[in-house]
């Protein structure tokens, strides 16, 4: 993992729509952190700090350090609510992590060698991307920033599935454990 994300937060006692609205007017984003056998805790994060972190794609698939009232906690972002018109964060959910337990979350797929794909360059096909992310399960120390899918040797008429993704050590795709019928397509090369 290349980037470290640190967010500062303060615990909050007021809950509900009115309290959340007051926080947003004060340039704070209401949030909650839960999991790892601890009670859920309502927190507030500075708006500018969260927006800056959200600009980086890696933020969504990294272990974050949340400093809440001076105490550091490791977490991952589990859910983010945005304003429907302004696309600004309205609320965030964070999941505390325990280094000894697996976590399940979505990570982005990065498709490489699309320009040099045999099915496109030599056979005149086109690439259709079906999935932009995939749900994985792993220990927090094994969490990848993204997964790579290579198109270099893919011919026309070929469909790539979840089982075609090269997974790093310690990472698994839960859907594949359910059997061959759950091996969903992620991309294909077809006639243009």
DSSP, residue by residue, 58-85: GGGGS-EEEEETTEEEEEEEEEEEE-TT
pLDDT above 90 coverage of the chain, percent: 88
Is the domain of 81 the same as that of 111?
Answer: no
pLDDT, tens only, 130-149: 999 999 999 999 999 999 99
Side-chain-side CA neighbours of 144 within 13 Å: the count stands at: 22
What pLDDT is attached to residue 14?
Answer: 86
CATH of the domain at 117: 2.170.120.20
Which domain-ending residue is among 66, 96, 126? Answer: 96
pLDDT, tens only, 50-60: 999 999 988 98
Is the domain of 10 the same as that of 85?
Answer: yes
What pLDDT is attached to residue 192?
Answer: 83
Which domain-ending residue is among 37, 66, 96? Answer: 96
Question: To the nearest 10°, the Cα dihedral for 15, 16, 21, 26?
Answer: 0
Does residue 41 register a pLDDT over 90? yes
What pLDDT is attached to residue 2?
Answer: 52
Residues 6+ apart with CB under 8 A from 86: none
Structural domain total, the chain: 2
Q: Residue 151 in contact with residue 117, Cβ under 8 Å? A: yes
Is the domain of 74 the same as that of 118?
Answer: no
Is the domain of 69 the same as that of 127?
Answer: no
pLDDT, tens only, 72-119: 999 999 999 999 999 899 999 999 999 899 999 999 999 999 999 999
Nearest to 41 by CA among 68, 7, 74: 68
Would the CA dihedral through 98, 100, 106, 107 be positive or negative? Answer: positive
Does residue 157 register a pLDDT over 50? yes
Is the domain of 117 the same as that of 91?
Answer: no
Does residue 3 register a pLDDT over 80? no
Q: Whole domain around residue 51: which residue ranges? A: 5-96
Residue 46 token pair? 């500075």
Is the domain of 9 the same as that of 74?
Answer: yes
At 129, give phi and psi (nearest 5°). -90, 125
What pLDDT is attached to residue 1?
Answer: 44
């Amino acid at each position: 993992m290349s980037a470290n994300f640190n967010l500062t937060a303060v615990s909050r006692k007021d809950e509900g729509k009115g309290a959340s609205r007051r926080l947003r007017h004060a340039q704070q984003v209401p949030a909650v952190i839960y999991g790892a056998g601890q009670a859920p805790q309502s927190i507030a994060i500075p708006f500018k700090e969260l927006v800056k972190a959200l600009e980086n794609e890696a933020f969504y698939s990294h272990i974050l350090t949340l400093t809440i009232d001076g105490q550091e906690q490791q977490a991952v972002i589990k859910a983010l609510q945005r304003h429907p018109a302004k696309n600004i964060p309205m609320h965030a959910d964070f999941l505390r992590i325990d280094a000894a337990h697996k976590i399940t979350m979505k990570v982005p797929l990065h498709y490489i060698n699309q320009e040099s794909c045999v099915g496109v360059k030599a056979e005149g096909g086109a690439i259709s991307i079906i999935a932009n992310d995939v749900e994985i399960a792993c220990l927090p120390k094994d969490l990848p920033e993204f997964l790579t899918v290579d198109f270099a040797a893919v011919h026309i008429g070929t469909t790539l599935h979840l089982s075609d993704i090269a997974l790093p050590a310690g990472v698994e795709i839960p859907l594949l454990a359910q059997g061959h019928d759950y091996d969903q397509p992620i991309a294909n090369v077809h006639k243009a």
